[in-house]
Structure 1
Amino acid sequence: MTVTIKDIAKVAGVSYSTVSKALNNSPLVKEATKRKILKVAEEMGYEPNLAAKQLVRKRTDVIGLMWPTIERIVLATLVTNISKAFENTSYSMILSVDSQETAMETFKKFQVDGMIIFGESNEVSITQDPIPFVVYGVSGKNETSYPIIDANHEASMQKAVKHLYELGHRNITYIGQFDTKDALQLEKVEGYEKAMKQFGLEKYKQIIDSKGLNWFDGYTAVEKVLQNEGQQPTAIIGGSYDISGGIMRALTEKGISIPNDISLVSYDNIPQMATTEVPMTCIGVPVDVLAEEIVHAIIERIESEERVELVKKLSPTLTARESSGPPRIQ
């Protein structure tokens, strides 16, 4: 038999409204009375009717996360950190790695209050849906009608090239995916090109298409680098944690010392960078900071009555470790 608030009120000897206030932690109820009511409620096995509560508030306190995959370590790590960031709020999170259409249907069934979307392209097709959403992606040059959290990949590449330049490197190669519609990857390439021009290194510019974002893509790309006899790099920038892991393994297998022969800097800033074969110098917004910003943005979108900031560009951080050092003196 379901225990109601009226049942608790009868046993506790207080009014129905007092029980309601106590269960909602109202400061209008004395602490002694509140403790008594909560004890009675627990002993009677009372369970709140969340559906009714949500109906009154017209909110579910659930946010949907629309994600492309959790197979890549970086994306799985970011999802984990987003989930942790929600633990400090009143919201819960549900994750969908389905297509956008399927994910939307799922979120509508759960009546989510808002959505977080991974924006691999500059265009997000959700434009007129009543559910508030924010995008983790690239803001681009055009105006946007929805909030974007931009990790500022261009600034990351600028800092990576600057770090290597100041160590004395000139032959700096970039390995990453660029034959793609993924705006995040394209901005990394553009950022690398701009940085090489900024530091007067255009004649040394070399971009190797990894054809993907996984470990094996980075591993096989190293062969293309070494086949170019006219321009052997003294430093490589990897376009992702997984790509850079493959690069590191391939260089090591070929007897190329990191960083004595070739320095390596990787995009992405996750804790796993510190535990690679050679602790990896990395660039990017720290994953915990990125998660906090994304969570803050969607909650603000849901709860704020004022117009929220549509584009927020974050500041990347370079963490220098053992994989980068001065070039070998020829």
Structure 2
Amino acid sequence: MTVTIKDIASVTGVSYSTVSKALNDSPLVKEVTKRKILEVAKEMGYEPNLAAKQLVRKKTEVVGLIWPTIERIVLATLVTNITQAFKDTRYSMILSIDPMDTAMETFRKFQVDGMIIFEDDHSKVNEEITMPFVSYGVSGKKHANHPVIDANHEASMMKAVEHLVKLGHKHIAYAGLLQTKDQLQLEKYQGYKKAMKEHSLEPFIKEVETEGLDWFDGYSAVKTLLEEQERPTAIIGGSYDISGGILRALQEQNVEVPKDISLISYDNIPQMANMEIPMTCIGVPVDVLAQEIVESVLHRIEAPEKEATVKKLAPTLVERETCGKANR
């Protein structure tokens, strides 16, 4: 049987309105009375009527997250961290991996207070969205008229190349998705080329196009690369999954890591430490990224701003066992 505010009022001997005020932590109720009411409510198993609260506040305290997939380990890890970050707030999160139009229609039905949108092309973001939202992607696009959380892929590549150059590497290859409209992936490749130029180095003669972001894509691309007469002394992998495939391909060809070829991976997630060889990685730590996304959307909900804001985050390089000094 559902316990109501009137039931609590009957047991405590106070008015219905006093119980209501106490449950809402009103300063109009004496502390001793408030404590008694809260103790009785807990003993009776009272649960607040969320629908009624939402009606009064005109808020659901729910945020919708539009995500491309949870199949890739990195994205699943980020979603998990975003969910965890919401636990420290009064908000809850619902996830949709449907196309954007379908997801937004679902969120309208749930009357969410705001949205987080993962979008590699901001031109796809509907400019008619009226609810508060932020997106995770690449900033600097003229059509981005909303808050953007940018993980700063270019700065990541700059740090990765700089780290390898300090170890004496000159023949540095980048393995990732090159022929794509995905702005997140393109910025990594462009950042790599920019970094090589700043260090007066030429991009490695053989471009390593993975044609995808999965483990097998990295594995296949690097197996092909190893058939070339000239090999790099270091490889930067474009993602956790790609780098896992690269590492296995190198091992199968009896290429010692890092003695023969050093390896750095994009994506700063805890799983990097548990690879066959603990992987040196670059990127914004996934827990930091999740916290920034959640704080930004809640700020947008609670203090709406019309103008676009961009937050470029600072990547961190974590040294482990896959990088060493150049052997030539």
2:153–2:191 CA contact under 8 A, matched in 1? yes
Measure, in 2, the Cα distance between the counterparts of 1:180 and 1:281.
26
2:145–2:308 CA contact under 8 A, matched in 1? no
Shift of 1:74: 0.3
Measure, in 1, the Cα distance between the counterparts of 2:64 and 2:55.
19
Return 218-227 or 285-294, whichever deviates more: 218-227
Measure, in 2, the Cα distance between the counterparts of 1:117 and 1:206.
35
Shift of 1:308: 6.5
- What pairs with 1:305-316 in structure 2 (closer than 5 Å)? 305-306=304-305, 310-316=309-315
Measure, in 1, the Cα distance between the counterparts of 2:201 and 2:137.
28
- What pairs with 1:133-282 in structure 2 (closer than 5 Å)? 133-142=133-142, 144-202=144-202, 204=204, 206-229=206-229, 231-282=230-281
Secondary structure in 1 matching 2:190? helix
Shift of 1:69: 0.6
1:285 is aligned to 2:293: no
Secondary structure in 2 matching 1:117? strand
Q: 1:215 to 1:279 in 2, by over 3 A?
A: same
Q: 1:180 to 1:203 in 2, by over 3 A?
A: closer
- What pairs with 1:100-111 in structure 2 (closer than 5 Å)? 100-111=100-111
TM-score by length of 1: 0.95
Q: 1:203 to 1:181 in 2, by over 3 A?
A: closer
Shift of 1:305: 4.4
Shift of 1:44: 3.9
Return 239-248 or 176-185, whichever deviates more: 176-185
Shift of 1:166: 0.6
1:64-121 Cα shifts (integer Å, max 9, x gaps)? 1100111100000000000000000010000111111221121111110011011122
Secondary structure in 2 matching 1:59? coil
Shift of 1:45: 4.0
> Which residue in 2 is equivalent to 1:55?
55
Measure, in 2, the Cα distance between the counterparts of 1:313 and 1:203.
26
2:208–2:221 CA contact under 8 A, matched in 1? yes
| Aligned residue type for 2:200 | G
Measure, in 1, the Cα distance between the counterparts of 2:303 and 2:48.
27
Measure, in 1, the Cα distance between the counterparts of 2:141 and 2:103.
28
> Which residue in 2 is equivalent to 1:117?
117
Q: 1:205 to 1:154 in 2, by over 3 A?
A: farther
Secondary structure in 2 matching 1:139? coil
Measure, in 2, the Cα distance between the counterparts of 1:181 and 1:169.
30
Shift of 1:125: 2.7
Identity of aligned residues (%): 66
How many residue pairs align between the two structures?
A: 328
Q: 1:127 to 1:203 in 2, by over 3 A?
A: closer
Shift of 1:49: 1.6
Measure, in 1, the Cα distance between the counterparts of 2:237 and 2:156.
12
Measure, in 2, the Cα distance between the counterparts of 1:308 and 1:314.
19
Gaps of at least 5 residues in structure 2 are none
| Aligned residue type for 1:259 | P
Shift of 1:307: 5.2
Q: 1:70 to 1:124 in 2, by over 3 A?
A: same
Q: 1:56 to 1:215 in 2, by over 3 A?
A: same
Secondary structure in 2 matching 1:134? strand
TM-score by length of 2: 0.95
Q: 1:203 to 1:154 in 2, by over 3 A?
A: closer
Shift of 1:11: 2.4
> Which residue in 1 is equivalent to 2:323?
324
CA RMSD after TM alignment: 1.6
Q: 1:49 to 1:199 in 2, by over 3 A?
A: same
